[in-house]
Amino acid sequence: MKRSIVLIVLAILTVIVYFSSFYYSSVIDSVAVATGSLIYIGLSVASILVWLLIFIYSDSKNKLPWLFVIALFPVIGLILYIMLGNGFRETFRYRRRMKQLGSDYVVPARHHDHSDVETELSYEALRLVKLNKITSQNDVTFKTKTRILTNGEQKFPVLLEAIKNAKEFIFLEYYIFHSDEMGMRVIDALIERAKAGVEIRVLIDSMGSSKRMSKDAIQMMKSAGIMFAEFDKVWIPFLSNKMNHRNHRKILVVDGKLAITGGINIGDEYIHRSVKFGFWRDTSILIEGEAVHDLAVIFSGDWFFATGERLEDDRYYVSYPSEEDGGVQVVDAGPQSTIAPIKQSIFRMIMDANHSIYIITPYLIPDFDVIMALKNAALSGIDVRIIVPGRPDKKFVYYATQSYFEQLLAVGVRIFTYDGVFCHAKVIVVDEKIATVGTTNMDIRSFYLNFEVNVMLYQTQSIEALLNDFNIDFSRSTEIIYTEWQKRSIIARTAQSLAQLFSAVM
């Protein structure tokens, strides 16, 4: 309603100014020229000041691209930076909102009992556990079972069955939630459980799902008693830097006993029904046991930020230990943290590798630290392999991914393109003993801007399933040969260089 009133008022003012110009054109022209000149001069001065402030004080990974944009297009660059580049206000806003939870709210850190644990973690795993515990405040658990869900055909039957069997509560949080055939199957299952008395909360990202979920589907859920919310709604996307800080998480928690996370959103394309993409390669993970608690806590924080409701009922956070199966640790990250916990975790994994690093990611737009870690690993004789899509979802972003190939190939990193397929999985396996599965892409946006969650696996049976998937993926991919890649056209090189220049602000 507010937006409608604003648009009507703007339309009326436009009409008045337009017709008045016939009578007062000479006066208006003079004032407009003078006013326009003053505004332009003011914006130019402001651009110079902002450029200097960024140059001197900013330690952002986006620093160089923004300096370039503002220097090349002073006024336009300043406006774009105000809309998209300055994340300080949004970061502060999230921190302030979370502080309102108070010290009496659910404590994110949970210290699990390790007294009867038989698993002996390697030195590298123990160091990674310590790092993640400091940066993300979540302890490792050895009483958690995990199972890899490869592609949508494995995930959705498990997800629907979990919803169907819910007895007390369901937390569901997704970046993309379509109201297409697959989405409606999930919505119908949720509605059936809501009518049976199960308490259900559904949280979607307003940018990721705003055009994908119909108002009718939302109303159906609300009418059935499902509590529904959008994370950080953006009214005018390109006039707000809220769009830079999106909730990219995918989480299902059922009765505190079971959880699912990973790369797979909810929609038909994730079961290979996309006209554009066809087969969709992706990975999620099923979690049963103590680690479910940590995902429930993450959901409760996101729900509070979106709605202001404190989820304080103890039944949401009861821990249900499972049988021992290696170590499992949940790591979450977002723009409220300057540490970038998941990026730190990935960096440590790469640097501690002894013989192999396998990565599958839809976007390969790493920052300087990760690039150097990958180079260092390859130069040390470690088998570094990276799988990226064989076809893009966003052409310009794909050029940015390609722009990093040459420097990595030159030092021995092996890069594969999944033949004719868009791979959306986010998985890293190191030394066949440590792995991470989650929502985080190997790009700057996921490292620093989005709200993400990953699951660390230490010597679990699920790692074997991930390795099997990698072997299948390698067999279906084409390796890029360094000498052949060097022969690409000048047009391709130009497009890739241009994309890399703006990769930090994508």
pLDDT tens-digit profile of 272-290?
988 788 899 999 999 999 9
* Catalytic member of 139, 232, 255, 352: 255
What confidence tens digit (pLDDT) does each residue in 222-251 have?
999 999 999 977 655 544 444 567 899 999
* Catalytic member of 242, 293, 375, 424: 424
The larger pLDDT score, comparing residue 184 to residue 206, is at 184
Q: Which residue has the tokens 């996101």?
A: 302
Active-site annotation holds for 272: no
Q: Token pair for residue 186?
A: 């999930």
Q: What is the model's pTM?
A: 0.83
CA-to-CA distance for 35 and 110, rounded, in angstroms? 60
Active-site annotation holds for 426: yes
* Catalytic member of 332, 352, 431, 469: 431
Coil/strand/helix, residue 196: coil
What confidence tens digit (pLDDT) does each residue in 30-66 have?
544 455 566 656 666 666 676 666 556 555 555 566 6
Asked if 370 and 342 touch (Cβ cutoff 8 Å), the reply is: no
Distant-in-sequence, close-in-space partners of 397: CB < 8 Å, separation ≥ 6: 363, 365, 499, 503, 506
CA 227 to chain centre: 23
> What would you measure as the largest C-alpha separation in the chain, in angstroms?
88
Which CATH fold would you assign to the domain 142-327? Endonuclease; Chain A (3.30.870)
* Catalytic member of 61, 145, 242, 250: 250
Q: Token pair for residue 242?
A: 């809220």
Active-site annotation holds for 424: yes
Burial bucket for residue 391 (CB in 10 Å: 0-12, 13-18, 19+): middle
**Pick from 339, 338, 358, 331: nearest CA to 455:** 331
Active-site annotation holds for 431: yes
What confidence tens digit (pLDDT) does each residue in 388-426 have?
999 888 888 899 999 999 999 999 999 999 998 899 999
What confidence tens digit (pLDDT) does each residue in 145-201 have?
999 999 999 999 999 999 999 999 999 999 999 999 999 999 999 999 999 999 999
Radius of gyration of the chain measured on its C-alpha atoms: 25
The 10 Å Cβ neighbour count of residue 420 is 13
Distant-in-sequence, close-in-space partners of 8: CB < 8 Å, separation ≥ 6: none
Average pLDDT along the chain? 84
Which CATH fold would you assign to the domain 341-505? Endonuclease; Chain A (3.30.870)
* Catalytic member of 143, 426, 433, 469: 426
* Catalytic member of 143, 248, 257, 433: 248
Q: What is the mean pLDDT of residues 474-478?
A: 97
Domain boundaries, the chain: 29-86, 142-327, 341-505
The 10 Å Cβ neighbour count of residue 42 is 11
- Per-residue confidence at 10, pLDDT binned at 50, 70, 90? very low
**Pick from 252, 304, 187, 292: nearest CA to 439:** 252
Active-site annotation holds for 245: no
Residue 113, pLDDT score: 76
Give the H or E element holding residue 185: helix 181-195
Active-site annotation holds for 222: no
Q: What is the mean pLDDT of residues 461-480?
A: 97
